[in-house]
Structure 1
Amino acid sequence: MKKLLAMLLISVLMVSLFVGCSSNTSGSNPTDKPTQEPAGSSTGNDNPGDSSSAPEEQDNELYTFKMFANFTPAEQSEADKSFFAAVEKANNVKIELEVPPATNYAERLQIMMAGGDYPEVVLFPGERDKILLDAVENGVVIPINQYLENAPNLMQYTYNISWDSLKFKGDDQIYGVPRTSIARADGYIVRKDWLDNLGMTIPEGGAVTKDEFVEILRAFTEDDPDGNGIDDTYGFAANSDAEGNMGPILTWPFGLNGWQKADKGPYEYMNLQFSKEHDNFKKALEFTRDLWAKGYIDPDWPVTKRETAIERFKQGINGVIGEFSGWVAQYITDMTPIFPDVELTYITGVKDDNGKVEGGSFGTGFWGLWTITSSAEKPERIISVFDWMLSDEGWPTVNYGPEGVTYNVEDGKMVATDLYAKYSWGRAILRRNNDPAFFIPLSTSEEMKPKLEKWLSTCIEQAIFSKDRGYRPPAADDPVYIDYQKTMNQAISKIIVGERPVSDWDQILDEWYKNGGEAYIQQVNDFIKSVEGQ
């Protein structure tokens, strides 16, 4: 049977080498990304679907299974070894790890799945991965519903929308454990020392209006915020995507929150970027175009990738960057050698015209999924290990590492050891969906902790999920659609830099509809209706 499955998978793999597909993965350009700016919703406490009866009696024998995973760095530290030892001891298991370098994980994953010798547990990067979907179809990846009946912690700390997104066959069967993250609508890290130099402050709640946001960018560009007497700073650290495409730097304040219930037009659900009845995207384009024309955005934006944008912020070239608030402490650590007196603060969001802040997060509340293959003799034991990790007993070990190794308790407080900084693998396996403290390192100063807690909580509260649940419709893989999507992305960049007028967006959108966009929207609507039970 394995040989037959292997031959089928090899055939699929060979075909995939000749059939291209395209997607836009820009951090700043939402074009062709209706699935990437969703966000917050219900927590997952319900049973995800019909399931068979779970094992009747506890299996106390040592169980060994292999885990194929993507951890960074790929070399296991002593702290990471101690973590797995703690997991094995608590669950009476032996975990054999296969961890390819992150740079060629996808390639190694394809080769492994095509070879027919499957580890019991495999990490896939996302729920739309073609190799994953083929493995589900061919029975290599198995459904786990019956085992989730005895996994109360997995159910409690995973979003319902995450479970829903792993029902690949149109029924209630679930084919993986989501690697949950906290759904949130992130804001912006800001140079507080620059604000102090200019006599400016962020409002108490952390949110600003669009006008206040612009004024900060203007002052950071024109008013010498670092006080060196040189015109060498800019407001916003923007970056293009992998293909060099640009996009609006603000989307959520213009109501661009992914796929939501439509208030008018022929479709029941709509991403306002693609709506002919609304001008939200056009306004977002005009807003960004104006900032670019005034010089408030880093002039290297068209050729700047995300990593470079981060470095330019840390080097003191720009004063505002879109970022997760949990990284503020790390930014300070990285910048202190260059700027010993650096101070950072956080804008939790930019208000819309009604004074409200809400925005998108992870499309389905997770970043990758753990699957169980047909090689597993005791899938229930594997699910039990995952469930233990999110339990009150296991969660502190996942979050901070093993007590006595990565931290000690002194006077009732957790104090990091030297090994704490080397601990990472356990934190990349699973997370609780309601614990912002996960993102506050033990090494964080007592002064910074309450600020981080407040920023994180605010970003969590203002998050909403896009109703498309990360769905990629078949129309997105049509060559005609793919070709025009590239044209559209280039046109958006030209509008921002002033090479085309904003009014051209209407014509660009009309052509998008004619080149596969209409089918795209209809297919997404059909999908949303199917999962919404309509």
Structure 2
Amino acid sequence: MRKRGIILLVLTMIATMLAACSGNKENGKASESSSTQGGSQTASATAGSKEESAKFSYVRPVWGAATYTKGGAYEKEMFEKANAKIDVQIIPVTEYDQKIMTVIASGDIPDVFWAAGPTDKKFKDMQDQGAFLRINEYLDKYPAIKEAVPQSVWDTLTDDKGNIYFIPNVSNPLIPIFMYYRQDIFEKLGIPEPKTVKELEDALAKIKQSDAKMIPLTAQDTIWGLGALSTSFGFTHFGWGPATGEDKENPNTIVPFYLTKEMKEYYFYLKDLRAKGLLDKEFLMAKNWDHAKQKFTSGQAAVLGINWGYGPEIYSTLKKTHPEAKIGILPPLEGPDGAMGGIRPFGAWDRGMYVNAKMSDPDGFFRVLNWTLTEGSDFRRYGVEGKTYNVVDGKKVLLGEDEKEADYKTGQIEPLKFLQPMSEALDWDTIEATYEGSGVGEAFADAKAKFEAYNAVQYPEYRNPTVFSPLEVEQGAQLYTDYLQSVVDGAIINDKVTEQEWDTAIDKYLKAGGQKIVDEVNELQKNKTKPKY
């Protein structure tokens, strides 16, 4: 949740920006003028032509390690191919939302930066006030960009005047969080593969008893890391879903996750695991977000919760450090109250990009973006032959992370990424090739089977992101900060937070305005049917 001070700074920034942009309120006309520079340029123009190099600043989050160093070999090759000079700044994803607001509030707005988009009221207000470039003309000029995003998403992002300002980072919303486990350790201890949350806890206890140095359970260092486990408690994590006791398919009332009985049970269950020494003491506390992955791949942990996309790296790295190790993927687990584990779907996009209305050469950015989706598509997807991929039997096979030179590792490539078209969001051939390229092709079949098993049961976001409760917009962040943040953020890791303290905080929040927010959302959102993916 944002602090009130940041919001005030943002509002001040908007006023300053509007004063600077007062002569440029018709973004469309400015866009048209800049998009027709050169006269003969067509929709098929690419960044690789003999035009002047595109130059722009670019701020984005990174999900991998924040190790990017400017001037690397991959960057130089991309800049040459794309005819671009990009000033990149990265922010770790766990810090991004807060830090980008601070950057914006400073008034030194990047030419292009990632943001939540118009489903966030702050950005919607900035968008409406003219802070960002209207991009309709560029989508017409560069159809590859428009075609990368489903029309239904563009429709959602189009305002009531028919204008679009936001470029969504579309993604496959079905991204399961797996729990990888040391199958060889389970077999050695005679532990059958768990099918329920209770069986998992019993297994963790047995592992701890047999080896005091082994961490029974660790997870990606955000609460998402145990997403496979949270679904077994039957609620929509980090979103709005049916109130406790409501029909999951057609609820009358939806509430934020922290107001459900199931979420409270889940958080205090994790607290109990931690107290018993079964959950990594560094969970939610380590500064290095991927510490859990490193612990598992170095043989220090028996079970790892993490985004399924890290599979090839996990298998290949552990295979090198512990050749005798066998890895399994836990199936969806039945929870304490009978709820079946599954997946918490993400949205159709995860953040995206705004272009500063005052950018001097917006067409340069769109030329580069278009290049990444046309002539530069292979470079975007595969990189450099011999450095990031090899050709095997006529197929491009991506190299494992540990097989790459420093300049070609993910940390040097991710910061220079823009969009992946929806058509590539779930490409099984590419995923299989990634497993094969990492030398663990035999693990692909199980990963695909578990992907399908997790997606069989879904706990999606029920709330329409364009519905804004007036009180929530005005006071929601402050109410959460004042009444809930300490208990929600501290329930798992703070020994002083008790269930009674939790209940008291929830009661005060509801009386202070939380209940009115819930009522307003439910009154404004008529359709509360469970979304289907």
The normalised TM-score by structure 1 is 0.68
Aligned match of 1:514? 511
Structure-2 change in CA distance of 1:332 and 1:385 (3 Å): same
Give the superposition deviation at 1:97.
Answer: 0.3
Greater fraction of residues in helix:
2
Q: 4+ residue stretches of structure 1 with deviation over 6 A? A: 8-11, 54-57, 103-109, 128-131, 239-242, 246-249, 264-267
Determine helix, strand or coil for the equivalent of 1:297: coil
Give the superposition deviation at 1:360.
Answer: 1.7
- Whether contact under 8 Å (2:133, 2:356) holds in the other structure is yes
Structure-2 change in CA distance of 1:334 and 1:171 (3 Å): farther
Q: Is 1:221 aligned to 2:204, yes or no?
A: no
Determine helix, strand or coil for the equivalent of 1:349: coil
Residues 391-421 of structure 1 show CA distances to partners (whole Å, capped at 9, x for unaligned) of 6x65433221145764342432325575654
Aligned match of 1:67? 56
Identity, % of aligned positions: 20
Give the superposition deviation at 1:326.
Answer: 1.9
Structure-2 change in CA distance of 1:173 and 1:285 (3 Å): same
Distance 1:171 1:198 in 2: 65
Query: What is the 5 A alignment of 1:334-353?
Result: 334-335=317-318, 338-351=321-334
Structure-2 change in CA distance of 1:80 and 1:165 (3 Å): farther
- Whether contact under 8 Å (2:88, 2:416) holds in the other structure is no
Residues 70-92 of structure 1 show CA distances to partners (whole Å, capped at 9, x for unaligned) of 37514243223323444x3xxxx
Aligned match of 1:58? 42
Structure-2 change in CA distance of 1:57 and 1:85 (3 Å): closer
158, 161, 171: which one pairs with 1:181? Answer: 171
Aligned match of 1:366? 349
Q: Is 1:142 aligned to 2:142, yes or no?
A: no
Distance 1:116 1:449 in 2: 46
Aligned match of 2:76? 81
Determine helix, strand or coil for the equivalent of 1:237: strand
Residues 429-467 of structure 1 show CA distances to partners (whole Å, capped at 9, x for unaligned) of 222443255663633433234344444555566555413
The normalised TM-score by structure 2 is 0.68
Letter in 2 for 1:194: I
- Whether contact under 8 Å (1:407, 1:416) holds in the other structure is yes
Give the superposition deviation at 1:98.
Answer: 0.9
Aligned match of 1:190? 181
Distance 1:487 1:189 in 2: 31
Determine helix, strand or coil for the equivalent of 2:86: strand
Q: Relative CO higher for 1 or 2, CA cutoff 8 Å, sep ≥ 6?
A: 1
Aligned match of 1:485? 484
Letter in 2 for 1:401: G
- Whether contact under 8 Å (2:171, 2:349) holds in the other structure is yes
Structure-2 change in CA distance of 1:238 and 1:409 (3 Å): closer
- Whether contact under 8 Å (1:475, 1:516) holds in the other structure is no
User: Once structures 1 and 2 are overlaid, which stretch shifts more, 284-293 or 104-113?
Assistant: 104-113
- Whether contact under 8 Å (2:217, 2:278) holds in the other structure is yes
Determine helix, strand or coil for the equivalent of 1:323: strand
Structure-2 change in CA distance of 1:151 and 1:460 (3 Å): farther
Structure-2 change in CA distance of 1:241 and 1:402 (3 Å): closer
Residues 459-489 of structure 1 show CA distances to partners (whole Å, capped at 9, x for unaligned) of 5665554133667842554534421123432
Q: Is 1:256 aligned to 2:235, yes or no?
A: yes
392, 397, 400: which one pairs with 2:382? Answer: 400
Structure-2 change in CA distance of 1:397 and 1:460 (3 Å): farther
Structure 2 unmatched ranges of 5 or more: 1-7, 17-31
Give the superposition deviation at 1:359.
Answer: 2.8
Aligned match of 1:279? 261
Give the superposition deviation at 1:166.
Answer: 4.4
- Whether contact under 8 Å (1:180, 1:366) holds in the other structure is yes
- Whether contact under 8 Å (1:123, 1:368) holds in the other structure is no
Give the superposition deviation at 1:522.
Answer: 3.5
Aligned match of 1:98? 87
Letter in 1 for 2:85: E
Structure 1 unmatched ranges of 5 or more: 1-7, 17-51, 89-93, 225-229
Calculate the aligned-residue CA RMSD, in Å.
4.8
Determine helix, strand or coil for the equivalent of 2:442: coil
Distance 1:111 1:279 in 2: 38
Give the superposition deviation at 1:186.
Answer: 1.2
Give the superposition deviation at 1:323.
Answer: 0.1
Determine helix, strand or coil for the equivalent of 1:284: helix
- Whether contact under 8 Å (2:167, 2:352) holds in the other structure is yes
- Whether contact under 8 Å (2:180, 2:329) holds in the other structure is yes
Aligned match of 2:4? none
